[in-house]
Amino acid sequence: MSTLTRAGSNLNASTVAGTPGSARVDLVLVAQMVDYGAKVLDVGCGDGELLRLLSETRGVDGRGIELSREGVNECVAKGLAVIQGDADTDLGDYPDDAFDYVILSQTLQATRHPRIVLEHMLRIGRRAIVSFPNFGHWEVRLQLLFAGHMPRTDILPFSWYDTPNIHHCTIKDFRQLCTAIGVKMEKAVALNAWGSPLRLNAPWWFWNLFGEQAVFLLSRKG
């Protein structure tokens, strides 16, 4: 699922300093939230790009779960520890506190039960990192308002009938979910349509309107 979603994005990291030139900016942002040498589970790891980046730049012990068989086999052939599995059904098999970070990169909107997935992530890992396309972005709103069809953008390139994305949310929605399940938001970054982070002191409504995608670092409360 994430393979498709990620392939639709063609951001690059030129705006983020000190990172390999070719990596996607949202992946670089995620990687920068991870401590060196941490143990990481990437849920919906696609072709393994983030795991590779994490291992090369942060020296992490990384594992992945991916739904698509092609993605899994590609990852394993790259030497990554990836298994074929489904975020909705297979996270229950992992013991508590097995990882330092559990990452859900551009995959939340494709899960059947985002809330349960998020709860599992913070059970398995001490911290969770979630990145997702913001359905509150002005371009999305305008397409629905004026063109009257389901929005299609660079990072949401699918038609309504063939999209893997079944649970779109806005930055505001996601924050409300975090509050509802008692999750602490440690860090959040929103990227505009050019892949640049929005000003940190901007109000949430501004992020919700001008952030094309968002990355949240979460931890358990208390």
Partner 1 sequence: MGQIDRTSIPEVADSPREADQPHESLIAHFGADRPLKLDAGVELSPFQIAYKTYGTLNAERSNAVLICHALTGDQHVASVHPVTRKSGWWETMVGPGRPIDTERYFVICPNVVGACMGTTGPSSTDPKTRKPWGLEFPVITIRDMVRAQAMLLDHLGIESLFAVAGGSMGGMQVLQWAASYPQRVFCALPIACATRHSAQNIAFHEVGRQAIMADPEWRGGRYLLENANPRRGLAVARMGAHITYLSDAALHRKFGRKFQDRENPTFSFDADFEVESYLRHQGIAFVERFDANSYLYLTRAMDYFDLAGDYDGTLANAFAGTPTRFCVVSFTSDWLFPTSESRAIVHALNAASARVSFAEIVTDKGHDAFLLDEPELFAIVRGFLDGAGKARGLFAMS
Residues near partner 1, by CB under 8 A: 61, 63, 69, 72-73, 75-85, 93-95, 98
Question: Is residue 100 within 8 Å of residue 42, measured between CB atoms?
Answer: no
Residues in the chain: 222
Q: For residue 27, give the amino acid letter.
A: L
> Closest separation between CB of residue 39 and partner 1, Å?
9
- Of the candidates 164, 189, 138, 130, which has an alpha carbon nearest to the alpha carbon of residue 2? 164
- Of the candidates 8, 23, 30, 22, which has an alpha carbon nearest to the alpha carbon of residue 191? 30
List 214's β-bridge partners, or say none: 132, 190
Q: How many CA atoms lie within 13 A of 2 on its CB side?
A: 31
> Closest separation between CB of residue 43 and partner 1, Å?
12
- Residue (78 or 199) nearer to partner 1, CB: 78
> Closest separation between CB of residue 62 and partner 1, Å?
9
> Closest separation between CB of residue 100 and partner 1, Å?
12
- Residue (124 or 155) nearer to partner 1, CB: 124
- Residue (82 or 178) nearer to partner 1, CB: 82
Q: For residue 211, give the amino acid letter.
A: G
- Residue (63 or 137) nearer to partner 1, CB: 63
